[in-house]
Amino acid sequence: MAKILDGVAVRNGILARLQPRIAKLGRAPGLAVVLVGHDPASEVYVRNKVKACAELNFFSDKLTPPADISTEGLLAIIDTLNKRDDIDGILVQMPLPKQIDARRVLEAIAPEKDADGFHPMNVGHLVAGRPGPRACTPAGVMELLKHYSIPVSGKRAVVLGRSDIVGKPQALMLLHESATVTICHSRTANLAEECRRADILVAAIGKAGFVTAEFIAPGATVIDVGINRVTDAAEAERFGKAAGFAKAGSVLVGDVHPLDADRVAGAYTPVPGGVGPLTIAMLMANTVELSERRQSLTKQGVI
Ligand code: NDP
């Protein structure tokens, strides 16, 4: 049986280390969360983010413009948030409704208030290995590897998925820690074989249980970023989650087949309870860092 990497324990450690830094600040860090419309999954994510702010005594402001807001309307909201002194971090919950130009919105967030680390300037900082807010989910994965003292330097890492929010930044973060990194995607040939070469395999594709035993080298560390809701009883049973399904009518499954990971990997993150809790913890960490920087610049009279 493989070792289970407990994301909740890592999250608790990250939040505990933030407490003394928050206590040192002149005012509470401020995070603005913009939720457009009523996407049920987004509502849950935003609720959890606002809850985490309350736990850490952050100031949080939740803005809920209507689903039919225009790009210009949303840009005006971002402009106001950019100028507010009590706001250190801004997050626009994705996905945005179709009529909105999401790229323009993300680029309108002031890079020094970019809590998600998605602004092109901060992506550039990541590429160059300079300080700046980092994409939360891959940054959380790096914290988890560190927490469990899983060696990265000189190891083969395979990242399955090449999105801007997970796959690409994850690959760069692993590269900065001197892993030999391969990025796989939907056009990759011999996908299972590529993945099987990994000492560290990070799966982020959004396909329930796609990564099966043939993708996993015996003893590898498998990080499962995927969050997929399974609503079919037979499928839930295939993932060893029949009991959870009977209770709730649906279950969450990652991109990795949990029973196969348990059988073949050396260690793996469960879903739920693996990478998920780390994303919000890193959002809090980014906001504290942005607040520290802004408050220090204010003290020096720079802004
Ligand atoms: P995207 O849909 O943006 O990207 C998916 C990536 O997976 C793409 O690069 C795509 O390749 C690749 N892919 C899709 N199907 C296959 C396939 N059959 N074989 C190989 N590659 C494939 O997803 P995200 O990166 O946003 O999210 C990935 C997963 O992580 C989702 O389940 C999401 O819910 C979850 N997630 C979890 C978070 C957390 O906090 N735990 C945070 C963010 C995301 P191509 O580019 O070629 O199309």
The pair of three-digit structure tokens given for residue 75, joined into one six-digit string: 């840009």
255 C-alpha to ligand 1 centroid (Å): 9
Q: Report which protein residue has its CA nearest ligand 1's atom 19.
A: 186
291 C-alpha to ligand 1 centroid (Å): 31
Residues with CB under 6 A from ligand 1: 137, 160-163, 165-167, 185-187, 191, 204-207, 225-228, 275-276, 279
Find the domain containing 234 and state its range. Answer: 136-278
Q: What is the DSSP letter of 96?
A: P
Give CA 30 to chain center in angstroms: 20
206 C-alpha to ligand 1 centroid (Å): 5
CATH of residue 192's domain is 3.40.50.720
Mean pLDDT of 76-90: 98
221 and 178 co-located in one domain: yes
Q: What percentage of the chain reaches a pLDDT higher than 70?
A: 100
Q: What is the mean pLDDT of the chain?
A: 97
Q: What pLDDT is stored for residue 302 in this prediction? A: 87
Q: Report which protein residue has its CA nearest ligand 1's atom 36.
A: 226
Task: Indicate whether 116 belongs to any domain.
Answer: no
Task: Indicate whether 119 belongs to any domain.
Answer: no
25 C-alpha to ligand 1 centroid (Å): 37
The pair of three-digit structure tokens given for residue 55, joined into one six-digit string: 């736990």
Distance set, CA 87 to CA 60, 156, 269, 287 (Å): 8, 40, 34, 9
Is 0.95 surpassed by the pTM of this model? yes
pLDDT at 73 over 90: yes
Q: What pLDDT is stored for residue 90 in this prediction? A: 98
Tell me the per-residue pLDDT of 43-71, one tens digit each, with 9 for 90 and over: 999 999 999 999 999 999 999 999 999 99
What total number of domains does the chain contain? 2
61 and 144 co-located in one domain: no
Residue 125: band (very low, low, confident or very high) from pLDDT cuts 50, 70, 90: very high
63 and 193 co-located in one domain: no
Q: Report which protein residue has its CA nearest ligand 1's atom 14.
A: 205
Task: Indicate whether 302 belongs to any domain.
Answer: no
pLDDT at 253 over 90: yes
Between 303 and 235, the higher pLDDT residue: 235
Residue 180: band (very low, low, confident or very high) from pLDDT cuts 50, 70, 90: very high
Q: Sheet holding 200-203: strands in order across?
A: 3-4, 267-268, 221-224, 200-203, 156-160, 180-184
Task: Indicate whether 178 belongs to any domain.
Answer: yes
Q: What pLDDT is stored for residue 299 in this prediction? A: 87
Q: Report which protein residue has its CA nearest ligand 1's atom 41.
A: 276
Residue 236: band (very low, low, confident or very high) from pLDDT cuts 50, 70, 90: very high
Task: Indicate whether 260 belongs to any domain.
Answer: yes
Q: What pLDDT is stored for residue 252 in this prediction? A: 96
Task: Indicate whether 240 belongs to any domain.
Answer: yes
Mean pLDDT of 263-286: 97
Q: What is the DSSP letter of 114?
A: B
Tell me the per-residue pLDDT of 186-232, one tens digit each, with 9 for 90 and over: 999 999 999 999 999 999 999 999 999 999 999 999 999 999 999 99
Integer Cα distance of 176 and 120 in angstroms: 18
Task: Indicate whether 159 belongs to any domain.
Answer: yes
Task: Indicate whether 17 belongs to any domain.
Answer: no
Residue pointed to by tokens 């509502």: 43
